[in-house]
Amino acid sequence: MKKEDGEEEYNNYMRVYFTASIAGKKQYLTHYRAIVSELEKQGSEVLADHVLNQTESQIRLETREERLAFHKQLEKWITECDCVVVEGSFPSISVGYEISLALHRNKMVLLLHLIGDPPALISSCNEDRVICERYNMDSLSEIIGRFLNYVGGKTDTRFTFYLTAAQMAHLEERAQAKRVPKAVFLRDLIDKDIKS
């Protein structure tokens, strides 16, 4: 996507499934919209209406059949998307379920959260496909751009290597202490080494 005078050119077309707590909209709707807007600005098609246009009262009034139909549609969206982006500042069991569903389908997940630590259940997750990022409105563009490039294979090369049992134990201990996946911990070490 071509940008105006001096702005970056984004070429990150992807189909992105966005999710967040519907109950959390009262507090975080501005953030939800900013994330969706940034994803679209960077060239992605975003599936987000089920969050942005639904209310808790509408969901409570749905029949069993409507809920089952929505669940089937949700599975289809996640299966067909390239990646999942989550605003996880407000706790939600259903959002956790959607993350689990995405991981089961081998999708990369970007879990965005505002202040503090990442959501407790995710911080203990040993899944390399979940990238937790603390964000603010100023950092959103860079974080999303990095994630889309990573998912699109534009900035990263994957490789496998072996660790001794002692190395693996140390890595797991340090990653858990930092509350990040092991891959994120290793990337941070490399980034620090590059800067020094």
Which domain CATH number covers 100? 3.40.50.450
Q: How much is the pLDDT for 195?
A: 87
pLDDT in tens, 33-69: 999 999 999 999 999 999 999 888 888 888 999 989 9
Same domain, 48 and 65: yes
Q: Are 110 and 148 in contact (CB under 8 A)?
A: no
Task: Kindly state whether residues 195 and 124 are assigned to the same domain.
Answer: no
Q: What angle do CA 113, 119, 122 make, to 5 degrees?
A: 115
Same domain, 152 and 164: no
Question: Is there a single domain that holds both residue 35 and residue 85?
Answer: yes
Query: Is residue 25 included in any domain, yes or no?
Result: yes
Question: By percentage, how much of the chain surpasses pLDDT 90?
Answer: 51
Is pLDDT at 171 greater than 70 in this prediction?
A: yes
- Same structural domain for residues 184 and 152? no
6-31 mean pLDDT: 82
> 65 and 123, same structural domain?
yes
* Residues 36/19, Cβ–Cβ less than 8 Å: no
Question: Is residue 3 in a domain?
Answer: no
Write out the residue range of the structural domain in which residue 165 sits: 159-196
- Domain-embedded: residue 56: yes
Give the C-alpha separation, 127 to 130, whole Å.
6
Let me know whether 101 and 194 are in one domain: no
Q: Binning pLDDT at 50, 70 and 90, where does residue 102 land?
A: very high
Here the tokens at position 140 are 């959103």
31 and 115 inside one domain:
yes
Is 135 in the same domain as 172?
Answer: no
Does 4 fall in a domain? no
Type of residue at 52: L
Residue 101 lies in a domain: yes
pTM: 0.73
Q: Are residues 105 and 181 in the same domain?
A: no
Residues 60, 39: Cα–Cα separation, whole Å: 30
pLDDT averaged over every residue in the chain: 84
Given this model, what pLDDT does residue 5 score?
46
Asked, for residue 106, whether it belongs to a domain, the answer is: yes
Decide if 6 is inside a domain.
Answer: no
11 has pLDDT over 50: yes
Domain count within the chain: 2
Residues 46 and 141 both lie in one domain: yes
Residue 63 and residue 108 in one domain: yes
